[in-house]
Chain A
Amino acid sequence: MSKLVKITLSLIISILLIGVAAYFAQQNTNATPGSKARLMLPKPLTTFQLTAHDLKPLNIERLKGKWTLLFFGYTHCPDICPTTLTELAQMSQQLPPDVLSNTQFVLVSVDPQRDSPESLAEYVSYFDESFLAATGSIAALTAFARQLDSKFNLETNPVGEPIVNHSSAMLLIDPQARYYARFKAPHYAEEIHTQYLTLRNSYSPTSP
């Protein structure tokens, strides 16, 4: 093949790909609340194991049968984490009882050095006694975060204190333990509330 043909071909393919991407992006922005947060294909989670605040494992089994709203954070976070937890607590109070009864809220701490399951228990129950928290080894946390297209990293400030950077999106996991939707920060109670209920209402367990 001549060089020119190769270039032309790759150009055509690129343009086609961009077109396809643009088409799906367009579809995705047709805004019923929550629709743009939903993944095109729910992604089944694979085995993971973290330790929950109650010292029991947080694993796939524990995500099944309930909707889970989960986000990454840490307790030595002065601003975003308590703000988000306050909004979530407010949102959970406004959920209809039947929805609330099969919804769980999970804070996953990516700062296992400072956050033990016991201290996490006290921390999250300050916001709402039904909230769950979990943490684990850095390796387990990294693998789990990756399943949810999330990440974190730990740095040290000049005084030698850890700085934790983490994904700020809120993840929605469906009752089949499939990663189902992703809400971008900032998180406001009313918005999450509307998006979550809309996604639940249009949910069919058998189809994506």
Chain B
Amino acid sequence: MKFAKTFLSVFLLLLVSSTSATGKLEVHDAWVREAPPKTNVTAAYLTLYNHSPRIYTLTHFSSPDFKRVEMHRTEQHDDISKMLPVPQAILNSEDRIVFQPGGMHLMLIGPKKRFRAGDSITLTLFFTDERSTENSIEISLPIKKSMVDNNQHDSHSHQH
């Protein structure tokens, strides 16, 4: 399907702040939708893999490029589309959490400037392990017009 097509395996820096995190967390397919004009919100998508024996809990996010980052889930219920806040997400050992259009996503609110396809932004993921030790990962995500838009400047959307 769609996701299989997109193997933009984003190379990331694992900046685990605590030495207690022995395990490997990997981020793949990370991207941020270029915000259309007249809106101050957009979404970040990624897949987070846990290749460690630990269980992690994603607690919150931050970005120097946005005022606020919130974890949300789009839900279809009786034909109504709703955006629900997700306070935290558990990431089991050898499991993954997928943030994707129409599902879980990171809502980015209040950009510090107008980001365009081809730019990138920084995002920090905060999580705790079983002992409540706080860790974080800082990643860089490319801005794209859409998930399949690998060549940002050859998009069907119009450049203004």
Spell out A's residues near B (CB within 8 Å).
75-80, 82-83, 85-86, 89-90, 93, 115, 119-120, 122-123, 125-129, 150-151, 157, 163, 165-169, 184-186, 188
Q: Which residues, 50 to 87 on B, are CB-close (under 8 Å) to A?
A: 72, 74, 76, 79-83, 85
Q: Is the CB of A185 within 8 A of B76?
A: yes
A151 to B145: give the CA distance in the assembly, Å. Answer: 29
Interface centre among B38, B42, B76 (most CB of A within 10 A): B38
Q: Is the CB of B39 within 8 A of A75?
A: yes
List 7 A-B pairs, minimum CB-CB distance, nearest first. Answer: A168-B81, A119-B38, A78-B43, A83-B101, A126-B36, A78-B41, A122-B37
Please report which residues of chain B, range 26-57, place their CB below 8 angstroms from some CB of chain A when the two chains form the complex: 33, 36-43
A-B contact pairs, 15 of them (CB 8 A): A75-B38, A75-B39, A77-B83, A78-B43, A78-B105, A79-B74, A82-B33, A82-B36, A122-B38, A123-B37, A126-B36, A165-B82, A168-B80, A185-B76, A185-B79
The closest CB in chain B to the CB of A167 belongs to B79
Count B-side interface residues using an 8 Å CB cutoff. 30
Other-chain residue from B76, B85, B107, B156 in contact with A93 (beta carbon distance below 8 A): B156
CB of A158 to closest CB in B, whole Å:
9
Contact between A79 and B102 (Cβ–Cβ < 8 Å)? yes
Are the C-beta atoms of B43 and A127 separated by less than 8 Å?
no
* Chain B residues packing against A (C-beta within 8 Å): 2, 33, 36-43, 72, 74, 76, 79-83, 85, 101-102, 105, 107-108, 145-146, 156-158, 160
The winner among B40, B107, B146 for most chain A CB atoms within 10 A is B146
Which residues of B lie under 8 Å from residue A186 when comparing CB positions? 76, 102
Whole-angstrom CA separation of A137 from B81 in the bound complex? 21
